Chain A
């Protein structure tokens, strides 16, 4: 279905304080920087951010942390952001560390209607605490539950008017899998193109998953 572009400020208004928000990106590459700036500008508070990492203090998710918008993160890595580590030590932010592959699969499970996934990753480590371990054919696996969010804020390379998306190089990362796992999916594309420009075989996220497309910067 055809969508109309919304302003980035309007998109940020849709995300209420306290929301659970998935944000695509890996160390800021593939993160929707304009949406992040708009959330900072509107003074968002108490967000839970789900993503790979908290990037750097001046980049990507790091800017939300720096601006005090975030109460909790569910990520695989915070080593590149000293602010996240400082706030965690001070008890000012909750951090749940999730192995990167498990994070991807938990999001995929939520978006694909699965009750969870079985993974060997984390067996016998602190990641296994309070989780069920089951044996299949002599090997141990953790039961990891699905991970959903209220919003997914994505960056794509191209979006057409239907919301069909392409990604470039290492900017895809968590974006395609997050498109399945949130109630409201807002995409910030580099380019918006008319329907038909993206060949069907090149579409990596079908437009039916996208709720809103952020219009080009004016």
Chain B
């Protein structure tokens, strides 16, 4: 199992029946593959749809039906389409139960930077600032380290996406929860030691006496 699959499988365990969920572009999108069978989760795409599934059959794409990453999707029975103002009313208004987003950096207080690297890369924030401001839970799905550098750091060196603390951070090494006291280690991935996690983390970690192993599928 590669790093991305470990992350996607673990994030999927946060899903609950009946949730409205927004998956960000890239790694977070993989979470949709691991929705437990029999669970009903509504997916929102912020360009204006609730209720979609993986790509339509080859040749059956509709030019007016894409997800927020620009990929063709298929609408499910019961889907609803709406304009951008309505879509972001859903997001800011607290109607989205869970947003899963990627990250460039997270600091010791659980603040997220995800939308620009000054002088190098400025894609823009798109809907990320609204999602972090408004979703009930914000879960970060990211690789623990980027180009040898820890992504969790004492303080952000990149522009923040919001001042709100994210709810949970899931990487291929660990599950970490930002708390009032700092970043608390909750779980370690199978075969990964606490020392490995601490060595790959640039912020102080609150380590429990025993760190349970990360579950990767529902019992």
A residues whose Cβ falls under 8 Å from a Cβ of B? 26-27, 29-30, 52-53, 75-80, 85, 88, 95, 97, 99-105, 107-108, 119-127, 157, 167-177, 204
Contact = CB atoms under 8 A, between A and B. Distances in A.
A1 to B, nearest CB: 24
A29 B127 CA distance: 17
A29 B83 contact: no
Contacts of A123: 133, 162-163
A77 B64 contact: no
A99 B116 CA distance: 13
Given A85-B122, A170-B49, A121 B70 contact: no
Contact of A78 (B48, B124, B159): B124
Given A53-B126, A122-B129, A177-B85, 16 more contacts: A26-B66, A26-B84, A52-B47, A76-B126, A77-B124, A79-B123, A100-B88, A105-B88, A120-B134, A121-B134, A169-B48, A169-B75, A173-B48, A174-B83, A177-B83, A177-B84
Contacts, number: 146
A9 B152 CA distance: 54
B158 to A, nearest CB: 11
Contacts of A101: 84, 87-88, 91-92, 127, 129-130, 134
A125 B83 contact: no
Interface residues of B, number: 40
B128 to A, nearest CB: 8
B122 A88 contact: yes
Nearest to B85: A104
Nearest to B127: A100
A170 B47 contact: yes
A75 B84 CA distance: 13
A100 B126 contact: yes
Interface of B: 45-49, 62-68, 70, 75, 81-85, 87-88, 91-92, 121-130, 133-134, 159-163
B33 to A, nearest CB: 21
Nearest to A174: B84
B23 to A, nearest CB: 15
A19 B145 CA distance: 46
A125 B129 contact: yes
Interface residues of B, dominant DSSP: loop
A176 B85 CA distance: 9
Contacts of B84: 26, 52, 100-101, 103-104, 172-174, 177
Nearest to B75: A169
Interface residues of A, dominant DSSP: mixed
Contact of A75 (B63, B124, B129, B160): B124
Nearest to A54: B124
A30 B64 contact: yes
Contacts of A78: 122-124
A26 B159 contact: no
B216 to A, nearest CB: 31
A99 to B, nearest CB: 4
Nearest to A88: B122
Contact of A170 (B64, B92, B133): B64
Contact of A119 (B48, B92, B126): B92
Contact of A29 (B63, B92, B122, B128): B63
B65 A170 contact: yes
A126 B159 contact: yes
18 contacts: A27-B70, A52-B84, A76-B127, A77-B124, A77-B125, A101-B88, A104-B88, A124-B162, A125-B160, A125-B162, A168-B81, A170-B64, A170-B65, A171-B63, A172-B48, A172-B81, A172-B82, A173-B83
